[in-house]
A and B are shown apart, each in its own frame.
Chain A
Amino acid sequence: MVGTMPDVQPLVDEFITKLNRRQVEGSLDTAKLALVLLRQVISAQRIPPNSPANTLIEAIKSVGVRMIAANPIELAVGNIVRRVLHIIREEDASLATTVVTGVTTAVDSDDEDNLDIREQASSHAVAAANRSVLRAPSLHNLLESMPNPIRADVTVASTGDSDARSRSGDKNSRSWKLKHNVIESINELLVELQDYHSQVAEQALEHIHQNEVILTLGRSRTLLHFLLGAKKKRSFQVVVAEGSPRFQGHKLAKELTAEKLSTTLITDSAVFAMISRVNMVIVGAHAVMANGGVLAPVGLHMVALAARRHAVPFVVLTGLHKLCPLYPHNPYSLLNDMKSPSEVLDFGEFSDCLNGATGGPQCHVFNPTFDYIPPELVSLFITDTGGHNPSYVYRLVAEFYSPEDIVLQ
């Protein structure tokens, strides 16, 4: 399957090795790169006339699985892959229904005979089936067939035949149409990603008010845009916790002061002391899980708890590319990235404590990248599509992902 597109293969491999070496960082960039790559894959994929959707889906899956395996911690990759798969399914289904309706209308215009009735019935069935394919499994279709890809294929294939019977020869045109539509909507998605920052920043004014004190930890580009967006009309204070061990907070503080925002830099350990004076905590996220839980730079769980203690709203800025349809099974070990301890302490200084040669106890250093923040600690998600409640996240998931893609292997 992958073999059918030799020209993109090297690109894919390169991207995968990059992911593997952790040379692509930041979920937004990763998402963009992945999306562009998948678009290339699709455009390079030559599509057989019958069941074109599945060829595409298979192609994407085979690439996607490898990309995800290359860096399972960067969830953005998986999200994008699933988004693309969803897009393909959607486009395909819409095509199918249009075709079907086309058929039925044609039939109705003719004079009745029982063949047409069967035709009609089947067309209804097909339409229903297609709907069911699109829809998440729900009480509606519980008693109908369980929607699964295989069945989807069958129906799709049948429609393929039916419209072949009605007007033959335009198979290719149809598969071409599918491909075209898919690439179209991928481009839309790409645009979405591009002006994600501005989209989020636009909403800043609704959330940040005059003379408020905002607390944050570490640095995220989204956050920077958001604050600057608010600064256009409001004057407010920002308290930045440095965010050890990577100390991104220092950078943020620099940038903010450069933008003439009154900024205070504190240590992470001072957060609790500070929180009572704060009106709102705004932070960036690494990923949002399907239950509304958040993966965010390490230290934020403490901040969230502190905020909860003083009833300070804890607001998370995130984009839909960070929305992950998975649930945090064991977030502390599975979804976390354990970086090198050298960020935490200087090897040279401690090399004798790390020395196991004498059989004595060693000093172990532990350097996780992320915290998992349970949904009940999050007050609000601000995404490029507006603000959402943690309990609403599952709706977004249902909206943007097809259930059969959630498990790719």
Chain B
Amino acid sequence: MALKRATRATDIGDDEADVPLQAVLLADSFAQQFRPITDERPKVLLPLVNVPMIDYTLEWLASAGVEEVLVFCCAHAKQVTSYLEHSRWTSQSNFTVTPIESRDCVSAGDALRVIDQRNVVRGDFILISGDTVSNMSLKEVLKEHQERRRKDKLAVMTMVFRRSKPHPLIHQTRLGNEELLLVIDPSTKQLLHFDSLKEAGGRESARQQTLARQVVLERSILADRPAVQLCLDVQDCYIDICSPEVLLLFTDNFDYQHLRRDFVKGLLSDEVMGNKIYTHEIFGDYAARIDNMRAYDVVSKDIIHRWTYPMVPDIRFASPETGIKIGRSNIYKEDGVVLAPTTVIGPSTVLGTGTSIGDKSIVRNSVIGRGCTIGSNVNIEGSHIWNNVTVGDNVQIRHAVICDGVVLKSGAIIEPGVLLSFKVVIGENFTVPAYSKISLVRQRPEEDSSDEELEYAEAASGVAESPPSPFYDGRVVNGSPAHGGDELPESPRWDPSEVGIAGAGCNWSAGQDEEWRHSVAPIPSERIREIVAREEEGELEDDARDMTASSTNDNIAEQVDDDEADEEDESAFFDKEVEALFRRAVTGEAGAHEDHVVLEVNSLKLAYDRSFSDCAGAMFTALLNLASERPHTTSRDLLQNCRQVVVQWGPLLRRFLKSQDDEMEVLLVFEEICVEDNREFAPIFASVLQELYDKDVISEEAIIAWASEKQQADESDKVFVKQCERFIQWLEEASEEDEDDEDEE
């Protein structure tokens, strides 16, 4: 590997001597994951382990032998360009950085169209976004790509993937983006199908997902291929080797916005053009794109654990002038860090120069920027603290992101997943609730969290022109760029309930409900537990469906048996089957546990496409039959039997009574039985009903509703209602009573 890296830079040069190797770097993610921070500073300038993200990308490109980088700036274009001007990238030999500004782009698609118009791209180019961290060698992938191109002009793009097992329960990669499903031709490595599975959220989506797992491939894909490979454990590195045609394609179909959702899928879907996309899997090397907070956290951990070597904190590729030492268990300390004798520095921690930490403070698994002042008895765990942050005594910070110039008064508690934007002030002993985002910039009302929107806040206005990030020449100038709390247009009166007394900042309403998926905080275990639960339900649904399949089959078989099977018969079948099930349950046959009964009845329900009420009815009949079969002479002991049965099997029945209608259905069925099948129940109807009520199998509302419904019915039908008039009256009074009670309260 070392050798490879050694030779890398030179060899790429002579792979194609004629055209200099170009890269298009999108310095705008066209997404909103990093709001509200990105309202004040462009994402690519946010510090990742004390170095602006874009420097990782540029460093990698430079060391991988790219000669010209076209940086496309959109949001905060000024900040980005001026940063680049002042950075050392301008002074590099045989490595040029050319910024391309454009204001009115709202998506990667637009950006590429603009670039196409400018026609600055001369040959094959590497398309990445400015938040990519990688140390991969471009040598092989370029060679592969170019060879393919020689063979067939239609191989327009090579996407880089990397194996990474998604989380088994919450279906997302460790970088927090959703699980991918690829279909690849194992021999040619051609990409045949690209699909990102929707995240599992809520019972519905769980089911959806299980549906989504059933991937549908065109026959053409499978045609004349010995095998195709389905990959679920890959991670998209968002590193694409593109041919100039890609730009044309974007210009041609102006509706392409998103690189993956529109472009890739579009390309794969349209047969006419027949453009092909190929894949390249990297093994040893590292590559990841930071497109959400979790990714930010994970990648910085990877950097600290040196997966990105040589882009690690102690190799000062960004700001060589500050010395930094690495201690055991990945503790990185820049020169000029002042620690009290009793400070405890835990493993995997980075401390920026000029930072001082007080007595008995504990810092673990965290990155602390430059010029921070941290009091005593502070506990910092798994957090990202940027430059010039002031932390008072006895502050607790767990798994939070804290931007430049933030002030935490003593005793403040920052719960997991919190994001404090530039210069926010948190009052004394105030607790910032988990996953809240606080910024000095007010959240704009028309907040729609479609990540297809531009990441900038009124890029034309004050923000873009504001003094940009302090990262020039790595030296720490005063922390935060835009919007000093003083020069805020809005009322500087902040709500103490959001930031505590004497605090500054306003709380942003959470964008999507599932904050925890993409926040820096580790996923709380209870979340996982509920997901597991959901999953299992999902599974349930699945086997249910499977059984459907099976039972439909034998159902078909039966149909073969007697041709003129019609509706009633079918319902009869259904009822029989349910009863049979029930009997098995009663006689406690082969594992006929209550749940199983429920399960199977469910399956039957699906098979015969019945409603819950049908099941309820059937089940109830079964109950009564059971009762009537038990030995009895007088109606009294029949009632006795009914009591027993209800006591024993009421709960089971209850499980099919999802709604009031179901309950009414049961009542109707009961009537029916009393009228037709089994008249001996007629006399004891009322008492059974009461029994059902007492064992609350059937709710009073249902009964009342039933009764009221019966009012309009003709006399013959009212017989039973009459029979239990008193009972119903009593019920009505009771309900009225407690209504009154409620009124009084």
Interface residues of A (CB under 8 A from B): 10, 13-14, 17-18, 20-25, 66, 69-70, 246, 332-334, 338-343, 346-349, 351-352, 354-360, 362, 364-365, 367
Contact residues, B1-40 vs A (CB, 8 A): 1-3, 5-6, 8-9
Interface residue B164 (Cβ < 8 Å from any Cβ of A): yes
Residues from chain B with Cβ under 8 Å of A334 in the complex: 325
Bound: A13/B298 CA distance, A: 33
Q: Would B6 and A14 count as touching, CB distance under 8 A?
A: no
Interface residue B358 (Cβ < 8 Å from any Cβ of A): no
Interface residue B577 (Cβ < 8 Å from any Cβ of A): no
A343-B1, A357-B522 known; A333-B167 Cβ under 8 A: no
Residues from chain A with Cβ under 8 Å of B302 in the complex: 354
Bound: A24/B2 CA distance, A: 9
Bound: A320/B708 CA distance, A: 106
Give the shortest distance, in Å, between B177 (CB) and chain A (any CB).
12
Q: Would B307 and A341 count as touching, CB distance under 8 A?
A: yes
Instruction: Give the residue of B309, B320, B528 whose beta carbon is less than 8 angstroms from that of A340.
Output: B309
Q: Would A351 and B163 count as touching, CB distance under 8 A?
A: yes
Residues from chain A with Cβ under 8 Å of B233 in the complex: 348
- The contact sample of 16 A-B pairs, CB cut-off 8 A, is A23-B6, A338-B312, A340-B1, A340-B286, A340-B307, A347-B163, A348-B164, A348-B165, A349-B163, A355-B167, A356-B298, A357-B294, A357-B298, A358-B525, A358-B528, A359-B522
Interface residue B301 (Cβ < 8 Å from any Cβ of A): yes
Bound: A22/B316 CA distance, A: 12
Contact residues, B197-253 vs A (CB, 8 A): 233
A22-B310, A341-B307 known; A357-B174 Cβ under 8 A: yes
Q: Would A352 and B168 count as touching, CB distance under 8 A?
A: yes
Contacts between chains A and B (CB distance < 8 A), count = 128
Interface centre among B59, B283, B294, B306 (most CB of A within 10 A): B306
Interface residue B583 (Cβ < 8 Å from any Cβ of A): no
Give the shortest distance, in Å, between A286 (CB) and chain B (any CB).
13
Give the shortest distance, in Å, between B341 (CB) and chain A (any CB).
19
Give the shortest distance, in Å, between B642 (CB) and chain A (any CB).
52
A340-B306, A341-B306 known; A21-B63 Cβ under 8 A: yes
A13-B93, A14-B93 known; A354-B174 Cβ under 8 A: yes
Bound: A318/B3 CA distance, A: 21
A23-B9, A359-B525 known; A341-B310 Cβ under 8 A: no
Q: Which residue of A lies closest to B176 (CB)?
A: A357
Interface residue B328 (Cβ < 8 Å from any Cβ of A): yes
Q: Would B135 and A340 count as touching, CB distance under 8 A?
A: yes
Residues from chain B with Cβ under 8 Å of A17 in the complex: 62, 92
Q: Would B162 and A347 count as touching, CB distance under 8 A?
A: yes
Give the shortest distance, in Å, between B589 (CB) and chain A (any CB).
42
Bound: A334/B302 CA distance, A: 21
Give the shortest distance, in Å, between A295 (CB) and chain B (any CB).
16
Q: Would A23 and B283 count as touching, CB distance under 8 A?
A: no
Give the shortest distance, in Å, between B632 (CB) and chain A (any CB).
59
Q: Would B165 and A352 count as touching, CB distance under 8 A?
A: yes
Q: Would B163 and A24 count as touching, CB distance under 8 A?
A: no
Interface residue B695 (Cβ < 8 Å from any Cβ of A): no
Residues from chain A with Cβ under 8 Å of B315 in the complex: 20, 22
Q: Would A367 and B298 count as touching, CB distance under 8 A?
A: no
Interface residue B285 (Cβ < 8 Å from any Cβ of A): yes
Bound: A22/B163 CA distance, A: 26
3 closest Cβ contacts across the A-B interface?
Answer: A348-B163, A359-B522, A340-B309
Residues from chain A with Cβ under 8 Å of B316 in the complex: 20, 69
Q: Would A340 and B294 count as touching, CB distance under 8 A?
A: no
Q: Would B9 and A348 count as touching, CB distance under 8 A?
A: no
Bound: A23/B9 CA distance, A: 8
A347-B163, A348-B163 known; A364-B522 Cβ under 8 A: no
Bound: A314/B135 CA distance, A: 38
Interface residue B572 (Cβ < 8 Å from any Cβ of A): no
Instruction: Give the residue of B63, B312, B348, B528 whose beta carbon is less than 8 angstroms from that of A23.
Output: B63
Q: Would B167 and A357 count as touching, CB distance under 8 A?
A: yes
- Main secondary structure on B side of the interface with A: loop
Q: Would B317 and A20 count as touching, CB distance under 8 A?
A: yes
Residues from chain B with Cβ under 8 Å of A333 in the complex: 325-328
Q: Would B317 and A358 count as touching, CB distance under 8 A?
A: no
Residues from chain A with Cβ under 8 Å of B326 in the complex: 333, 338
Residues from chain A with Cβ under 8 Å of B307 in the complex: 340-342, 347
Residues from chain B with Cβ under 8 Å of A246 in the complex: 1-2
Residues from chain A with Cβ under 8 Å of B286 in the complex: 340, 342, 347
Interface centre among A10, A14, A334, A364 (most CB of B within 10 A): A364
Q: Which residue of A lies closest to B294 (CB)?
A: A357
Q: Would B328 and A69 count as touching, CB distance under 8 A?
A: no
Residues from chain A with Cβ under 8 Å of B323 in the complex: 69
Bound: A351/B234 CA distance, A: 11
Interface residue B524 (Cβ < 8 Å from any Cβ of A): yes
Give the shortest distance, in Å, between A16 (CB) and chain B (any CB).
8
Q: Which residue of B lies closest to A350 (CB)?
A: B165
Residues from chain B with Cβ under 8 Å of A13 in the complex: 91, 93
Q: Would A338 and B167 count as touching, CB distance under 8 A?
A: no
Interface residue B523 (Cβ < 8 Å from any Cβ of A): yes
Give the shortest distance, in Å, between B70 (CB) and chain A (any CB).
21
Give the shortest distance, in Å, between B134 (CB) and chain A (any CB).
12
Interface residue B305 (Cβ < 8 Å from any Cβ of A): yes
Interface residue B353 (Cβ < 8 Å from any Cβ of A): no
Interface residue B284 (Cβ < 8 Å from any Cβ of A): yes
Give the shortest distance, in Å, between B403 (CB) and chain A (any CB).
22
Known contacts A70-B320, A348-B163, A364-B330; can you find 14 more A-B pairs with CB under 8 A? A24-B6, A340-B307, A340-B308, A342-B285, A342-B307, A347-B283, A347-B307, A351-B163, A351-B173, A356-B522, A357-B298, A358-B525, A364-B348, A367-B306
Give the shortest distance, in Å, between A254 (CB) and chain B (any CB).
15
Instruction: Give the residue of B2, B305, B523 whose beta carbon is less than 8 angstroms from that of A364.
Output: B305
Interface centre among A20, A338, A340, A354 (most CB of B within 10 A): A340
Q: Flag B295-337 by CB within 8 Å of A: 1 or 0 each.
A: 0011001100111111010011100100101111010000000
Residues from chain A with Cβ under 8 Å of B5 in the complex: 21-23, 25
Residues from chain A with Cβ under 8 Å of B162 in the complex: 347-348
Residues from chain A with Cβ under 8 Å of B93 in the complex: 10, 13-14
Contact residues, B481-531 vs A (CB, 8 A): 522-525, 528
Bound: A80/B358 CA distance, A: 42
Bound: A66/B316 CA distance, A: 12
Q: Flag B265-309 by CB within 8 Å of A: 1 or 0 each.
A: 000000000000000000111100000001001100110011111
Q: Would B165 and A23 count as touching, CB distance under 8 A?
A: no
Give the shortest distance, in Å, between A248 (CB) and chain B (any CB).
10
Give the shortest distance, in Å, between B570 (CB) and chain A (any CB).
48
Q: Which residue of B lies closest to A66 (CB)?
A: B320
Bound: A356/B298 CA distance, A: 7
Bound: A69/B164 CA distance, A: 36
Q: Which residue of B lies closest to A365 (CB)?
A: B305
Bound: A158/B1 CA distance, A: 55
Q: Would B8 and A332 count as touching, CB distance under 8 A?
A: no
Residues from chain B with Cβ under 8 Å of A22 in the complex: 2, 5-6, 310, 315
Give the shortest distance, in Å, between B588 (CB) and chain A (any CB).
41
Q: Which residue of A lies closest to B382 (CB)?
A: A356
Instruction: Give the residue of A20, A347, A348, A357 whose beta carbon is less than 8 angstroms from that of B320.
Output: A20
Q: Would A351 and B165 count as touching, CB distance under 8 A?
A: yes
Residues from chain B with Cβ under 8 Å of A14 in the complex: 93
Bound: A332/B167 CA distance, A: 36
Residues from chain B with Cβ under 8 Å of A342 in the complex: 283-286, 307
Q: Which residue of B lies closest to A24 (CB)?
A: B6
Q: Would A358 and B523 count as touching, CB distance under 8 A?
A: yes
Residues from chain B with Cβ under 8 Å of A20 in the complex: 310, 315-317, 320
Q: Would A343 and B284 count as touching, CB distance under 8 A?
A: yes
Residues from chain B with Cβ under 8 Å of A339 in the complex: 2, 306, 309
Residues from chain B with Cβ under 8 Å of A332 in the complex: 328
Bound: A286/B323 CA distance, A: 23
Q: Which residue of B lies closest to A332 (CB)?
A: B328
A21-B63, A22-B310, A359-B522 known; A351-B2 Cβ under 8 A: no
Residues from chain B with Cβ under 8 Å of A360 in the complex: 522
